[in-house]
Structure 1
Amino acid sequence: MLEVRIPKMGASTVDVDLTKWHVSVGTSVVPGQILAEVESEKTNIEIEAETAGVVAEILVDEGAVTGVGTVICRIKTD
């Protein structure tokens, strides 16, 4: 199971808003596919899948504020 985390977005960024999910539980993903969008005070980024698999869990709801390094979803890679 691969854990997808909020990446570091700058020295001063601690919390981000998860603004949009592009996948749901059960979605098959491929490397480079956009999973979610997050924004901070200074930037917006798209979080991409690092490997192929199936989204097994979504742990942070769309619209929630969460911290850098937080696991937002898990992808089953078996």
Structure 2
Amino acid sequence: MSDILTPNFGESVTSATVAAWHKNAGDPVAKGDTLVTLETDKVSTDLEADESGVLEILVPEGAEAPIGAVLGRISPLTEVPPHRPPYHWKRGRNPLPVPPHL
């Protein structure tokens, strides 16, 4: 599991606003994917995933987070988020199980 932290932007910056999440909670992410855009009064920056997994969002868009705060987490792909449906449905066919990495 990997935490997504508000980075230190410099001495005079004490917090950042979550401007936009580029993925939804529960989405699979790959290392290097852009996850979130943060804004301060001096800078706007994108944070990328440092590993592959499933995104958990802890701080919503529009909220302000102090430097070092955990904005979200990336869990291993082997952990299926609880809100994911257990089956894919196809018209006229029986349901097919979803592999745990989807």
TM-score (norm 1): 0.91
Match of 1:70 in 2: 69
Q: Deviations over 1:3-28 (max 9, x none)?
A: 11011111211011110000111111
1:2 Cα deviation after fit: 1.1
**1:40 maps onto 2:37 in alignment:** no
Match of 1:11 in 2: 11
1:59 Cα deviation after fit: 0.6
Letter in 2 for 1:15: S
Q: Provide the identity percentage.
A: 35
Q: How many residues align?
A: 77
Match of 2:49 in 1: 49
| Superposed structure 1 runs of 4+ greater than 6 Å apart | none
Match of 1:30 in 2: 30
SS at match of 1:7: coil
Higher relative contact order (CA 8 A, sep 6+): 1
Letter in 2 for 1:5: L
Letter in 2 for 1:11: E
CA RMSD of aligned residues (A): 1.0
